[in-house]
A and B are shown apart, each in its own frame.
Chain A
């Protein structure tokens, strides 16, 4: 559910009031960091994305005209920062994946690894492997509890597109999380 931020604080930020920016930061830091963490699946990356988002916020708050709610506007900023992060990663990923593929853990088996893992990390890892557009819908839905309409507004797509992406993501997650549950249960 979107909650609108105090107009006075926004106006203060537009005037360059540091205390107002701090207040805005305190109100939204957990939301921004959580989306970044669930999207990127990595704490250090989540820190980078969160910083980028707050820098964008400070830089662009003068452009916020109140045509949509502040929270929708802020969600768009964090979504853009996540996409920017993905673009930066894309260039390097093949090289790093190839590098790590050449390593093999000689003793720990996947099953041992799986059992040693926290369930939360498993779920997060599976989500992190979803296609980026599916992942973002899942994060906005389950981390933020947004409605299909709210997600559609943030991502600038139709409600039907949101439903379709979520449906596809569910199918992939059911399959992958189901496989993990079976392996652990063996």
Chain B
């Protein structure tokens, strides 16, 4: 492509677009969530600033030391979350699908009705980093967490489950696959080669999960 052709191409394809109709609702939601702010003016400015810097520094260091290093580790860590840590607490799959789509731009193909052995606890989305959503649920007495990430690399457009593999990590089973531009990582605590965790999305025939390789 020559330089004289570049200008019109960029003008045409990078032009303005209309903001989504729900942007105002999201802005209002954020305003409501972040106000009212505490009256810091009553505290001496220097002490406040020093306190904020110390807390922020400590928080950042703590987060860096605590942050899981892989997506699989994040999924396993999510198994330990308490229900009250979830942003949306509901067992309604349709509500979760709608909420995740609105808040993370990720469509998790949860069927409106799922197996009776599955009990959804809720969902959260990642606000500080890549597009990622988590659905927490119980499979009978066992816990399970599904992490779904938007693929920023464009390598995962294959329309069927493309399994990356399964591992055992910290006494949990973890398996990852990609499907239509999204990557899924499922962690669950049931023993053996149990595939009931797949019933969250597959009421009939869950796809074959490859055998686990012991990691930790």
Spell out A's residues near B (CB within 8 Å). Answer: 22, 25, 29-34, 37-38, 42-45, 47-48, 50-51, 54-55, 58, 88-89, 91-93, 95-108, 113, 119-120, 123-125, 127, 138-139, 141-145, 170, 173-174, 177-178, 181
Nearest A residue to B104, CB-CB: A44
Known: A33-B20, A47-B105, A104-B155. A88 touches B10 (CB 8 A): no
| Cβ contacts under 8 Å, B162 to chain A | 103-106
Known: A97-B152, A103-B164, A174-B6. A32 touches B158 (CB 8 A): no
List, sorted by A's number, 27 A–B pairs whose CB atoms are closer than 8 Å: A30-B17, A34-B15, A34-B16, A42-B131, A42-B150, A45-B131, A47-B20, A48-B127, A50-B19, A89-B129, A91-B129, A97-B152, A99-B71, A100-B155, A100-B156, A101-B153, A102-B164, A105-B156, A105-B157, A108-B157, A108-B158, A120-B13, A123-B9, A123-B10, A143-B15, A143-B16, A178-B1
Q: In the docked arrangement, what's the CA distance between A177 and B131, Å? A: 27
Known: A123-B10, A170-B3. A58 touches B31 (CB 8 A): yes
| Cβ contacts under 8 Å, B96 to chain A | none
Let me know if A55 and B14 touch, CB within 8 A: no
Q: Is the interface of B mostly helix, strand, loop or mixed?
A: loop
| Among all A-B residue pairs, the 6 with the closest Cβ atoms | A44-B105, A92-B129, A33-B19, A123-B13, A178-B1, A29-B19
CB within 8 Å of A: which of B20-51? 20, 23-24, 26-27, 30-31, 34
Known: A89-B129, A142-B10. A113 touches B154 (CB 8 A): yes
- CB contact between A88 and one of B15, B31, B69, B128 (< 8 Å): that residue: B128
- CB contact between A31 and one of B16, B31, B130, B131 (< 8 Å): that residue: B16
Let me know if A25 and B27 touch, CB within 8 A: yes
| Cβ contacts under 8 Å, A25 to chain B | 24, 27
Q: Is the interface of A mostly helix, strand, loop or mixed?
A: helix
